[in-house]
Structures are given as structure tokens and as C-alpha cells.
């Protein structure tokens, strides 16, 4: 079973966990989760696909578990989605209803989730090939695409990480990450449910919240770890932990080193994407090397290819296109067979779009995107094209180009270069992006220019921007 730790018969045999999930001030036992989620399953069992506004609440977690019990596909929706992004996700996914709270002005029916409802009806385990989630990408090359993740792929991915991180039911996982992407949702919620370890979700990933949680495992993005590394008391509070895991963006080497010094734990770094989940990771029983994301997890193979398809030597310096294959990869992009086909090589490898180096010992180092349009800011993957599109929707903007600028706190700061058609306050443009795209996709800075640098073909030369 994907959620084998939620087997109601295990509860009957005395294996209940009184604090299976703590989120904010709410504590739910495993039997609480089973009863409430099964009640949800009874109300949605005939649906194919539902949208869940992925706020960090007990209702969200119960709604997701209910869908997994019933075999209904979940479409997690970022709570800060702007109007255009929200409309695209709902239209593209074909979601039939909102499960739990819905944003204002929705046209879809709303199915309530009752925190204290209980049902002990049993459902057969759905087919492992069934799609559990449609996760939407950050819109790097256009509108966000729906990534199809099967139950089988999720189970394989979580089991591989449990092995690499020696993750057992004796652990307590702590994080405060968003619940609409692989890191916070798949790893951070389904992981402990599958392993059988308690989860403490802090709602917000602040140093104070992490230091008060008293867990054995902590998940964070580089922005979180950077802030914790600057808080001596928070670092001291994490010394009793077993492992600190960093992902979603590269962890700056100074932050890695400071965490290792002040907490006594060299962070475990790992690499993945929505389409692949986690394919590379340092192991808890092996080396953790600053700037490197470790080895392939169980079942994963990797290779590097140059521009003409030749092998790239594993010397730690030569770089090439990173290609992977393994049991945790996605089933394609929803409704986009041509886009799906473009991601795969003729001999069955997935082209990640990232550039990497591999050392003689098999350790991997991610160099960056093959393109320049993926910005990793505060742990979020933000597509520059989507931000540009949002800016161009403002009547005062004639042209726009968006880049990521190095930032000590965020990793990269989103900066927009705009050519104006009319006078406008720069904050108005920032607020406009927050409304129509997402809050985390807003530019932190807008720079007004008279023209954008272009090549002979008219393409903006982003390498001449930034800094």
C-alpha cells in the first residue's frame, strides 16, 4: 500500500500513533487521520480528479489522505496562486470540484472536509499505476504543465529515500514547507505516513519554530537553512537531531559549513524535480560534501551527455546534460504528448534539462539549467517566462525580461527589467505579478531601461542583464 502505515487494521492491532501529525496547534493520531480521511473518501469516491487548496492545515492533509484512500487524483493548488495561474490549473487539470476550502469566486462545486468526522469503511488498494497527483511546474517555458505522478512512482521514490536516510518509524520529521510540491508534500507528508514516523509541520519554517519542534529529521530549503545558520540558539537546539536535509535549490557552501559547525550535522543535500522526484542524495552513512548532491538513490541510473550525444567523463570537472532513469519518474505531462516525448531520449532516458558533473566516486554536482530561465528563489522554482508574461499583461509595460540575481538569503532574487509604455510606480508592477501569478513569483526589484539587449534574431540576451 502507498499509505501502508495508515492501514486501519494496524490501529486495531494496537499500533496507533497518538501524534502521527502535528500541524500548528492541532495534533492528530493515526486513527484520527484514518477516520477523518475515510469519511472524506466516502464523499468523493466517484470523482476522478479534485483540486485542493494546499494551505498548511489539518484539513489539507486529511483531504489528501482521503483522496489516496479512495483512489482519486489530487491537484494541489498553491494558496498564493494569482487569477491567471489559478484559472489555468483548474482548466488544464479538469478538476471536478474543490475538496476543502476554496478561493473566492470559484465556479467549481465545493466538497467540505470535516476534521472531526469519522468513518471506518474499508476500500481496496487502488492500482499502483493510478495517477495520485497532478503537480504543476513553475512555468519555465510557458504555462505551468501538469506532471502526472503515479502511486507506484511515489512509493518507489519514498522507499529509496528511507533507505538512503535510514528513515524509520522511530524518527520525528519536522518541516514548515509548502504542501503543493514534491519537497513539502510528497517527501514531507507522504514520507512520514509511509514510513510510520510522526510529522511536525510548523506552518512557517522559522528558526524559532524549528528549534522548538524537537525532531530527529528536519527538511528545509536553503533560505530556511541560511536563516537558521544565522541564529546561534536555533543551531544549538538542532544538535540532538539525527539528520538535516536541504533541497529544492543549491545550498550555499558557507551555509553548509556554518550549519555543520554550529549544529554538529553536515546537511544531507539531494537533487530532484517534479518529474523525477528525488534521484540523487547524500547518504546518512556516507560522505556529505558541500556543493554536491550525492549518489543515485536505489533504482536510479544517471549519465552525462555532451551536445552531440557523447558520454562525458566522470572526472568531477567535465560537465554535460544530466539524464536519469528509475522507477520514481513521472508518467508524462497532462494532455501534452509532444512535450512529454521531447523530454525522453530514444533509448529511454529522461533529460532533466540540468547540467552536471560526476566525480570518479559517483558524486554528482549540479551546475545549473541548460537554459537561463529557471530561477530558484527562497526554495521555489520560478519560471522567468511566466513572470514576464504577467508583467506584459500590465498596460504600462511594453517589454520585459526577468532574471535571477544571486542573493545571500533567497539564493536568487527575482529582478525584472522593463521598458515602459507609460509611467507607473515600480511597486505597482510587483503587486500586479503577485496578483496574477503568485506572491512568491513577484520580482523583488524592477529596473526600468530604455531597451532590452537583443541579438540579431531579436532574442533578449539575458546574460547581459543582472548583477
Instruction: Decide if pLDDT at 155 tops 90.
Output: yes
Predicted pLDDT at 393: 85
Q: Are 132 and 148 in contact (CB under 8 A)?
A: no
Cell numbers linked to 280: 540523487
Predicted pLDDT at 350: 98
Question: Count of alpha carbons within 13 Å of 86, Cβ hemisphere only?
Answer: 22
Which positions ≥6 away from 104 have C-beta within 8 Å? none
Which comes out higher in pLDDT, residue 23 or 7?
23
- Between 106-120, 136-150, 209-223, 451-465, the lowest mean confidence (pLDDT) is in 451-465
Taking each continuous run of H as one helix and of E as one strand, the counts in the chain are 13, 24
Q: Would you say the C-alpha torsion 58, 59, 62, 64 has a positive or negative sign?
A: negative
Torsion-angle region of 362 (φ positive above 0: left; ψ -120 to 50: alpha; else: beta): left
Cell numbers linked to 177: 514547507
Residue ranges per structural domain of the chain: 4-263, 268-369, 374-464
pLDDT tens digits along 290-305 = 989 999 999 999 999 9
pLDDT tens digits along 17-65 = 999 999 999 999 999 999 999 999 999 999 999 999 999 999 999 999 9
Mean pLDDT value across residues 129-146: 86
Task: Count Cβ atoms below 10 Å from residue 346 Cβ, excluding itself.
Answer: 6
pLDDT band at 275 (very low <50, low <70, confident <90, very high): very high
pLDDT band at 454 (very low <50, low <70, confident <90, very high): confident
- For 316-330, what is the HEC assignment? CCCCEEEEEECCCCC
* Class of 374-464 in CATH: alpha beta
Average pLDDT value for the chain: 92
Predicted pLDDT at 291: 86
pLDDT band at 171 (very low <50, low <70, confident <90, very high): very high
Q: Would you say the C-alpha torsion 304, 308, 313, 317 has a positive or negative sign?
A: negative
Q: What is the DSSP letter of 204?
A: S
Cell numbers linked to 339: 512535450
pLDDT tens digits along 312-352 = 999 998 888 899 999 999 999 999 999 999 999 999 999 99
Domain boundaries 268-369, corresponding CATH code: 2.30.38.10
Q: What percent of the chain has pLDDT over 70?
A: 94
How far apart (Å, rounded) are the C-alpha atoms in residues 431 and 85? 15
Predicted pLDDT at 456: 43
Domain boundaries 4-263, corresponding CATH code: 3.40.50.12780
- Which candidate, 358, 21, 456, places its Cα nearest to that of 198? 21
How far apart (Å, rounded) are the C-alpha atoms in residues 240 and 242? 7
Predicted pLDDT at 6: 64
Which positions ≥6 away from 33 have C-beta within 8 Å? 6, 20, 21, 61, 62, 65, 193
Q: Which DSSP string corresponds to 260-315?
A: HHHHS-PPEEEEEETTTEEEEE--TTS---TT--BEEPTT-EEEEE-TTS-B---S
Across-strand partners of 294?
364
pLDDT tens digits along 432-447 = 999 988 899 999 999 9
Q: Are 195 and 20 in contact (CB under 8 A)?
A: no
Mean pLDDT value across residues 186-214: 96
- Between 23-27, 105-109, 138-142, 173-177, the lowest mean confidence (pLDDT) is in 138-142
Backbone angles phi, psi at 438, to 5 degrees: -155, 155
Place of cell 546561534: 232
Please check whether the two domains, 268-369 and 374-464, share a CATH topology.
no
Which positions ≥6 away from 28 have C-beta within 8 Å? 19, 20, 21, 22, 36, 58, 61, 62
Amino acid at each position: 500500500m502507498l499509505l501502508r502505515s495508515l492501514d486501519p487494521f494496524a490501529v486495531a492491532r494496537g499500533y496507533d500513533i497518538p501524534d502521527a501529525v502535528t500541524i500548528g496547534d492541532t495534533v492528530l493520531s493515526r486513527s484520527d487521520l484514518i477516520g477523518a480521511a475515510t469519511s472524506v473518501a466516502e464523499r468523493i469516491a466517484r470523482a476522478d480528479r479534485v483540486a485542493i487548496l494546499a494551505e498548511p492545515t489539518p484539513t489539507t492533509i486529511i483531504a489528501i489522505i482521503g483522496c489516496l484512500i479512495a483512489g482519486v487524483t489530487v491537484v494541489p493548488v498553491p494558496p498564493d496562486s494569482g487569477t491567471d495561474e489559478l484559472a489555468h490549473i483548474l482548466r488544464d487539470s479538469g478538476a471536478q470540484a474543490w475538496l476543502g476550502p476554496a478561493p473566492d469566486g470559484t465556479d467549481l462545486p465545493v466538497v467540505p472536509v470535516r476534521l472531526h468526522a469519522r468513518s471506518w469503511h474499508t476500500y481496496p488498494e487502488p492500482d499502483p499505476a493510478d495517477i495520485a497527483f497532478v503537480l504543476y511546474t513553475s512555468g519555465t517555458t510557458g504555462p505551468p504543465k501538469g506532471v502526472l505522478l503515479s502511486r507506484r512512482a511515489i512509493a518507489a521514490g519514498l522507499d529509496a529515500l528511507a533507505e538512503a536516510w535510514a528513515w524509520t518509524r522511530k524518527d520525528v520529521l519536522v518541516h514548515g514547507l509548502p504542501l503543493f510540491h514534491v519537497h513539502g508534500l510528497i517527501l514531507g507528508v507522504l514520507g512520514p505516513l509511509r514510513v510510520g514516523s510522526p510529522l511536525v509541520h510548523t506552518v512557517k519554517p522559522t528558526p524559532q519554530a524549528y528549534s522548538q519542534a524537537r525532531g530527529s529529521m528536519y527538511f528545509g530549503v536553503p533560505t530556511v537553512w541560511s536563516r537558521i545558520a544565522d541564529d546561534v540558539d536555533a543551531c544549538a537546539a538542532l544538535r540532538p537531531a539525527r539528520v538535516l536535509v536541504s533541497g529544492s535549490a543549491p545550498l550555499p557552501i558557507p551555509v553548509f559549513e556554518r550549519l555543520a559547525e554550529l549544529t554538529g550535522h553536515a546537511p544531507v543535500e539531494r537533487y530532484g524535480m517534479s518529474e523525477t522526484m528525488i534521484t540523487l542524495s547524500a547518504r546518512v552513512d556516507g560522505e556529505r560534501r558541500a556543493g554536491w548532491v550525492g549518489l543515485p538513490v536505489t533504482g536510479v541510473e544517471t549519465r552525462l551527455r555532451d551536445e552531440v550525444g557523447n558520454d562525458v567523463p566522470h572526472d568531477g570537472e567535465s560537465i554535460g546534460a544530466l539524464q536519469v532513469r528509475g522507477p520514481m519518474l513521472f508518467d508524462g505531462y497532462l494532455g501534452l504528448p509532444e512535450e512529454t516525448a521531447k523530454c525522453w531520449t530514444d533509448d529511454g532516458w529522461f533529460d532533466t534539462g540540468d547540467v552536471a558533473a560526476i566525480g570518479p566516486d559517483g558524486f554528482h554536482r549540479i551546475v545549473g539549467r541548460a537554459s537561463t530561465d529557471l530561477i530558484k528563489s527562497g526554495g521555489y522554482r520560478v519560471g522567468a517566462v511566466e513572470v514576464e508574461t504577467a508583467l506584459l499583461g500590465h498596460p504600462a509595460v511594453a517589454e520585459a525580461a526577468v532574471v535571477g540575481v544571486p542573493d545571500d538569503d533567497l539564493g536568487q532574487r527575482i529582478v525584472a527589467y522593463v521598458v515602459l509604455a507609460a509611467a507607473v510606480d515600480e511597486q505597482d508592477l510587483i503587486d500586479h505579478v503577485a496578483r496574477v501569478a503568485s506572491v512568491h513569483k513577484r520580482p523583488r526589484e524592477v529596473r526600468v531601461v530604455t531597451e532590452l539587449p537583443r541579438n540579431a534574431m531579436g532574442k533578449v540576451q539575458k546574460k547581459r542583464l543582472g548583477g
